[in-house]
């Protein structure tokens, strides 16, 4: 047994968990951890300018690698800065460990003037899978181990761990103990035969797959199952990266227009015409639930902590457990049993519907050759962004077009905040994406309002020499909200105009290259030039978010 500071014990435990990256910011209460991190050979630290961005980066790291992303903050304001992004990671089922220093156990000015030792635990409790407070150096290994396990087991999600400054600085006995934990995947197998029977008997089953599939890296199993059953796959908002869009049985999630709130009637039709709906990894509250719950036969597969919320889809059968594992078990039973009878017909109907919607979008864009039309600009960007790129995007007007124009080619190529939808996602998400996959192109699609919320992190991309293209769609407005004022408040706009900087000079002030684009026809050349830069590049494109929206 060695005697080390508790801060060193924390870092040793993180090393045993194979942590290679930490996103964080030092403060007086977590300095003992930083002191130990300085000496770590296997962990790199990405210094953020705002802790919320550290949590977004940890979230994206968690989604892309399947391992918990770590964000490290200091007590009080540093920790509470993270709450929005931790909540977003919770909604996105992303494994995240939020680790923070806390006020001294002996402090006379306790807890940043809030006088409640429990306040951080209370703040994080509703937006995490678990909150842990380490009150003894000797408990570090056990509690960190449990927290890592909670973040990854069952439905993944964030956890919060706090350690008081005096405990972090005190010495403790520590024995390095490489972790060999294996996560037992929980699978309820007794109902598998019943599910197999329903799926075998169904003449026209459909799959409704969402973010559980992506988060558990179960796309391959989903693809196999769709093929074995000849079942079309629908992917609602959070599930759009669950299966490549060009899969012959993938419908995607067509939006028929508006600000992303109108679901195309085809969805309703396909669900109504099917005789069994298999819902995989979709959280209660996804847009299609209202149609699904009226369906006579619904099978629901997910980790079910409680069945109360699942009753919203009125399932005939609930398969509780690890999605990848259950899909594998189902495949073993179903493989060889070919449902070919209607296979061709179903695949061609899927492709036909998908093509019809795509054609309508293209025609709409073709009729609106306004150089500042956001749809026209995004369609042009879609032509030049390489297929293997990771594309994080912000909420706002971009979101209403992403569904129709950008398609998933790989389980994680399209990243958004998801339904939680916090502004300021794309910039820090792009940084984490590039750190996870240095060899892949990363193009962030940012709203001007969103970019400004997270803009300090542009410096982080420069510091780390990350080759990322940041596209800022510059309409000088919180455009979506302005559009809502037009649509629902008689055009009375207020509080939605924003003053934006000269983005080319903004980039230049960091020593980076910036471009300004005023006409969509310039995009191809500018993108080529930007792609040849070695570090981050910013392309500001002038758009008008108040132009007509696509509708069918």
Ligand X SMILES: Cc1ncc(C[n+]2csc(CCOP(=O)(O)OP(=O)(O)O)c2C)c(N)n1
Q: Which residues bind Mg ion (CB under 5 A)?
A: 447-449, 475, 477, 479
Q: Closest residue to ligand X, Cβ-based?
A: 447
Residue 172 binds: one of ligand X, Mg ion, none (C-beta under 5 to 8 A by kind): none
Q: Compare residues 41 and 499 and give the one whose CB is closer to ligand X.
A: 499
Q: Is residue 286 a contact residue for ligand X (CB under 6 A)?
A: no
Q: Is 457 in the site for ligand X (CB under 6 A)?
A: no
Q: Which does 394 bind (CB under 5 to 8 A by kind): Mg ion, ligand X, none?
A: ligand X
Q: Binder to ligand X among 320, 450, 455, 460 (CB under 6 A)?
A: 450
Q: Which does 423 bind (CB under 5 to 8 A by kind): ligand X, Mg ion, none?
A: ligand X
Identify which of 291, 289, 280, 288 has the alpha carbon closest to the alpha carbon of residue 309: 289
Tokens of 218: 């179960």
Q: Which is nearer to ligand X, 393 or 433 (CB)?
A: 393
421, interface contact from ligand X, Mg ion, none, CB < 5-8 Å by kind = ligand X
The residues with which 69 forms a beta bridge, in sequence order, are 96
50 sits near ligand X (criterion: CB under 6 A): no
Name the binder of 16 from ligand X, Mg ion, none, CB < 5-8 A by kind.
Answer: none
Rank residues 179 and 542 by Cβ distance to Mg ion and give the closer one.
542
Q: Which two tokens stand for residue 185?
A: 């995947």
Give how far Cα 467 sits from Cα of 108, 431, 509, Å.
47, 9, 17
397 binds ligand X (CB under 6 A): yes
What's the closest the beta carbon of residue 535 comes to ligand X, in angstroms?
24
DSSP 328-349: HHHHHHHTT----TTHHHHHHH
When asked if residue 137 is in the footprint of ligand X (CB under 6 A), the reply is no
Q: How many helices and strands (H and E) does the chain possess?
A: 23, 22
Residue 363 CB neighbour total at 10 angstroms: 11
Nearest to 448 by CA among 549, 548, 511, 374: 374
Q: Which is nearer to Mg ion, 68 or 447 (CB)?
A: 447
Output the DSSP codes for 467-511: --EEEEEE-SB-HHHHHHHHHHSTT---S-B-----HHHHHHHTT
Nearer to Mg ion, 55 or 423 (CB): 423
- Whole-number minimum distance, CB 481 to ligand X, in Å? 5
Q: How many CA atoms lie within 13 A of 143 on its CB side?
A: 20
Give the DSSP H/E element, type plus range, for residue 44: strand 44-47
Question: Which lies closer to ligand X via its Cβ, residue 95 or residue 447?
Answer: 447
Choice from 87, 218, 423, 471 touching ligand X (CB under 6 A): 423
Q: Which stretch binds ligand X (CB under 6 A): 18-26, 278-286, 415-423, 508-516?
A: 415-423
Task: For residue 475, state whether it binds ligand X (rule: CB under 6 A).
Answer: yes
Provide the token pair at 187. 């699978």
Task: Using the rule CB under 6 A, give the single segment among 18-26, 56-64, 441-449, 501-509 that binds ligand X.
Answer: 441-449
Q: Toward Mg ion, which CB reaches closer, 247 or 477?
A: 477
Among 80, 238, 404, 545, which residue sits at the site for ligand X (rule: CB under 6 A)?
545
User: Distance (Å, rounded) from C-alpha 352 to C-alpha 354?
Assistant: 5
According to the binding rule CB under 6 A, does residue 95 interact with ligand X? no
Burial (CB count <10 Å: 0-12, 13-18, 19+), residue 42:
exposed
**For residues 5 and 545, which CB has a smaller minimum distance to ligand X in the complex?**
545
Q: How far is the CB of 399 from ligand X (least distance, A)?
A: 8
CB of 51 to ligand X, least distance (A): 14
Q: How many CA atoms lie within 13 A of 384 on its CB side?
A: 19
Choose one: 171-179, 220-228, 334-342, 416-424; the region binding ligand X (CB under 6 A): 416-424
Between 409 and 419, name the residue whose CB sits nearer to ligand X. Answer: 419
Least Cβ distance, residue 422 to ligand X (angstroms): 4
Residue 403 interacting partner from Mg ion, ligand X, none (CB closer than 5 to 8 Å by kind): none
Site size toward ligand X, by CB under 6 A:
20
Q: Does 477 bind ligand X (CB under 6 A)?
A: yes
By C-alpha distance, which of 429, 393, 455 is closest to 56? 429
Alpha-carbon span 482 to 479, nearest angstrom: 5
d(CA 292, CA 25): 45
Q: Which residues between 337 and 396 bind ligand X (CB under 6 A)?
A: 394-396
Phi and psi at residue 113, to the nearest 5°: 75, 5
Shortest distance, CB of residue 480 to ligand X, whole angstroms?
Answer: 3
Q: Shortest Cβ distance from residue 496 to Mg ion (Å)?
A: 9
Q: Residue 464 and residue 460: Cα distance in Å, rounded? A: 6
Beta strands 171-174 and 205-209: pairing type? unpaired
Q: Which is nearer to ligand X, 154 or 424 (CB)?
A: 424
Q: Are 444 and 430 in contact (CB under 8 A)?
A: yes
Does position 478 interact with ligand X (CB under 6 A)? The reply is: yes
Angle between helices 265-273 and 343-367 (to 10 degrees): 170
Eight-state DSSP code of residue 321: B
Q: Helix H segments across 17-158? A: 31-37, 51-65, 77-80, 83-91, 119-124, 140-152
Minimum distance between the CB of residue 345 and ligand X, rounded to whole angstroms?
40
CB half-sphere exposure, 6, CA atoms < 13 A: 23
The alpha carbon of residue 414 and the mean position of all alpha carbons in its chain are separated, in whole angstroms, by 9
Interaction partner, residue 254 (ligand X, Mg ion, none; CB < 5-8 Å by kind): none
Identify residues 479-538 at the interface with ligand X (CB under 6 A): 479-481
- Choose between 422 and 540: whose C-beta lies nearer to ligand X: 422
CA distances, 402 to each of 65, 421, 444, 494 (Å) = 24, 14, 13, 27
Site residues for ligand X per CB under 6 A: 394-398, 421-423, 447-450, 473, 475, 477-481, 545
């Amino acid at each position: 047994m060695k005697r080390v500071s508790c801060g060193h014990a924390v870092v040793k435990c993180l090393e045993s968990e194979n942590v290679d990256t930490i996103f964080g910011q030092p403060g007086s209460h977590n300095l003992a951890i930083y002191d130990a991190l300085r000496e770590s050979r296997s962990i790199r630290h990405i210094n953020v300018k705002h802790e919320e961005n550290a949590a977004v980066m940890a979230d994206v790291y968690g989604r892309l690698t399947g391992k918990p992303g770590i964000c490290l903050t200091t007590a009080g304001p540093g920790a509470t800065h993270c709450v929005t992004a931790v909540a977003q990671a919770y909604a996105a089922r992303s494994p995240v460990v939020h680790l923070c220093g806390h006020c001294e156990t002996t402090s006379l000015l306790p807890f940043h003037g809030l006088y409640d030792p429990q306040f951080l635990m209370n703040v994080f409790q509703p937006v995490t899978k678990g909150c842990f407070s380490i009150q003894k150096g000797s408990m570090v290994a056990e509690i960190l181990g449990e927290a890592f396990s909670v973040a990854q087991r069952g439905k993944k999600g964030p956890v919060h761990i706090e350690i008081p400054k005096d405990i972090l600085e005190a010495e403790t006995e520590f024995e390095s103990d490489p972790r060999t934990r294996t996560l037992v995947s929980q699978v309820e197998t007794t109902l598998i035969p019943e599910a197999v029977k329903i799926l075998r008997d169904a003449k026209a089953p459909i799959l409704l797959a969402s973010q559980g599939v992506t988060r558990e890296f179960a796309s391959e199993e989903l693809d196999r199952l769709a093929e074995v059953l000849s079942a079309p796959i629908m992917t609602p908002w959070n599930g759009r990266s669950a299966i490549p869009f060009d899969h012959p049985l993938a419908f995607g999630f067509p939006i028929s227009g508006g600000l992303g709130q109108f679901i195309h009637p085809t969805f309703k039709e396909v669900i109504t015409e099917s005789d069994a709906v298999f819902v995989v990894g979709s959280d209660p509250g996804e847009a299609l639930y209202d149609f699904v719950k009226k369906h006579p036969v619904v099978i629901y597969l997910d980790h079910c902590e409680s069945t109360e919320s699942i009753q919203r889809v009125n399932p005939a059968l609930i398969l509780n457990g690890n999605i990848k594992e259950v899909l594998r078990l189902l495949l073993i039973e179903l493989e060889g049993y070919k449902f070919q009878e209607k296979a061709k017909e179903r695949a061609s109907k899927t492709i036909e519907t998908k093509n019809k919607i795509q054609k309508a979008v293209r025609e709409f864009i073709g009729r609106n050759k306004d150089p500042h039309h956001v749809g026209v600009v995004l369609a042009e960007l879609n032509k030049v962004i390489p297929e293997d790129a990771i594309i994080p995007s912000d909420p706002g007007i971009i979101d209403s077009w992403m569904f129709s124009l950008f398609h998933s080619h790989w389980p994680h190529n399209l990243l958004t905040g998801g339904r939680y939808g916090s502004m300021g996602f794309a910039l820090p998400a792009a940084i984490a994406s590039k750190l996870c996959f240095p060899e892949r192109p990363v193009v962030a699609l940012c709203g001007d309002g969103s970019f400004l919320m997270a803009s300090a992190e542009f410096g982080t991309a420069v510091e780390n020499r990350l080759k990322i293209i940041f596209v800022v769609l510059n309409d000088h407005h919180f455009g979506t909200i302005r559009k809502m004022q037009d649509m629902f408040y008689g055009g009375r706009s207020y509080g939605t105009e924003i003053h934006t900087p000269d983005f080319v000079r903004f980039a230049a002030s960091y020593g980076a290259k910036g471009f300004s684009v005023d006409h969509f026809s310039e995009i191809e050349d500018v993108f080529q030039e930007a792609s040849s830069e070695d570090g981050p590049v910013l392309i500001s494109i002038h758009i008008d978010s108040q132009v007509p929206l696509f509708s069918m």
